[in-house]
Amino acid sequence: MERILITGGAGFLGSYLCEKLLKKGHNVIALDMSDGSKVEHLMDNKDFQFIQGSVLDRDLMHREVKKADLVFHFAAIADPKRYVQEPLTVLEIDLQATLNILKLAAQDKTKVIFASTSEIYGRNPKTPWAEDDDRVLGSTAINRWCYSSAKATAEHYLYAYHQHEGLPFTTVRFFNVYGPKLDDLGSGRVIPIFLKQFLMNEPVTIHGDGSHTRTYVYVEDAVDAVLKVAFCKKAEQQAFNIGRTEEVSVLELAKLLKKVGNFKSEFKFIPHKEVFGDKYEDIPRRIPKIDKIKSYCNWTPSTSLEDGLKKTIEYYRKKII
């Protein structure tokens, strides 16, 4: 039994990781700024501990990282609106706190599984993106890129700490993970925002003309991928894309949600600047290559977008009843 620390452990992905790791027989500590509602059902498990606290609390992190055998560092701000409105907070949590955690882990060579992002690749026009493809970003005056830059800098530190101090690590780059417990209805990322509008029978607001594309991977598939690379020795000191490869425009996503949920809302198109202001730039296409994780860990996603959306809609429908 390993003692595993999960920062952001009561968040979306973290809460699923807690469940899976407990089932595998590990001792799990979930550290999160939230009230722990997403892991409330685990509180009676003798092998589980929830700590309400911030990764910016250096004393707390020193104590918990030192006690851990393995660290999943998943705490982060990953909301595009907050990149634009709160760049300093994003940099403090996604970069400064991360660097402190990596320094602490490196002292004892405690393995880190680091949650990175598809935002790493910026707006590289050559899609799909492989893990070693170029990063193409906009101006540093555009707040939108602070999240990508914070995650990329953390990745550089992981390689540096391994080179100089032998820190073992694995990096996972997520491409739009979705599913039950993702965000509160109407906030955060595109699916909960659309679902609130659909469920309230309001017009569904689509930014721009809806032609920008993404891929969407169901949370159970994504967590399965994380666990495969986390416990795979040959995956250490490597970065892996985690996502599906089917390209879907935001307008197509809205239409599929409408069909699957049998909703009646109409669509309303609004300019990006009306939502995000002048400190935002959009990424036209975001598609991963997943050959590497297939090769290393024999992982492929198994849940279709339609099936995953059905499960997600069912969860959020129950939330509003």
Please state at what angle helix 305-320 crosses helix 250-261, rounded to 10 degrees: 60
Same domain assignment for residues 35 and 106? yes
| Each residue's pLDDT tens digit, 189-236 | 899 999 999 999 999 999 889 999 999 999 999 999 999 999 999 999
Residue 279 has pLDDT above 70, yes or no: no
- Name residues whose C-beta falls within 8 Å of residue 290's C-beta, 6 or more positions apart in sequence: 241, 242, 243, 244, 245, 299, 300
218 an active-site residue? no
For residue 278, pLDDT beyond 80: no
Q: Which of 16, 83, 121, 147 is catalytic?
A: 147
- Same domain? For 209 and 136 the reply is no
The pLDDT of residue 171: 98
Structure tokens at 317: 């429908």
**What confidence tier does 62 reach under pLDDT thresholds 50, 70, 90?**
very high
pTM: 0.95
Please count the CA atoms within 13 angstroms of the CA of 264 that sit on its side-chain side: 3
- Assess whether 202 and 229 both reside in one domain: no
CATH number of the domain at 266, please: 3.90.25.10
The structural domain count of the chain equals: 2
The answer as to whether 58 is a domain residue is yes
Digit-coded pLDDT (tens) for 252-262: 999 999 999 99
pLDDT of residue 41: 97
